[in-house]
Amino acid sequence: MELHPGTIKSASGAKRHSHKQVGRGNGSGKGTMSGRGGKGQTARSGGKHRTEIRGMRASLLRIPKVRGFNSLVAKKETVSLRDLDRVSVEGKEITPAYLKSMNLISHPEKGVKIVASGALTKKLNITGCFASKKAVELIEKAGGKITF
């Protein structure tokens, strides 16, 4: 089959059906009221309301109001000192990529924060991770160092 402008066809499912143009005369089938019914609120722009079921009212009252907001800034993944002590080798550099390889975190790009839960017995060199003040104290007390 040769390719000509007359033989080109869209893939099945690729075509989008355009809406019927309204307000272009009675012969078009969508003239006069433009398919909006009669007069009143529902004929105006912005006047449509979703169907409100009377029996739904009490259930809507039971739903608590949404308050506050959800931050778009991704939360850092937390790692405890207990987990670090369990999986790390003394003297090895601890980075977010290393923590991912040890399955302590799943998304290193979000950032890592070390929290001071548990004890640390090994001397660790930690880079590229955030830490709480208490965690920094305990890391340094064990002989390690942390650089952000």
Q: How far is CA 97 from the centre of its chain?
A: 22
| Environment class of 80 (CB within 10 Å of its CB; exposed 0-12, middle 13-18, buried 19+) | middle
User: pLDDT tens digit string along 20-38?
Assistant: 888 888 888 888 888 888 8
User: pLDDT tens digit string along 62-114?
Assistant: 777 788 888 888 899 999 999 999 998 888 899 999 999 999 999 999 999 99
Mean pLDDT of the region 35-63: 75
Looking at residue 56, its pLDDT comes to: 63
Residues 6+ apart with CB under 8 A from 49: 42
Tell me the C-alpha distance between 39 and 31, whole Å.
14
Looking at residue 106, its pLDDT comes to: 93
Give the number of other Cβ atoms within 10 Å of residue 122's Cβ.
18
Q: For the whole model, what pTM was predicted?
A: 0.53
Domain boundaries of the chain, sorted by first residue: 77-147
Q: Which residue has the higher pLDDT, 56 or 73?
A: 73
CATH top-level class for 77-147?
alpha beta
Confidence bin at 132 (pLDDT 50/70/90): very high
Rounded mean pLDDT of the chain?
Answer: 86
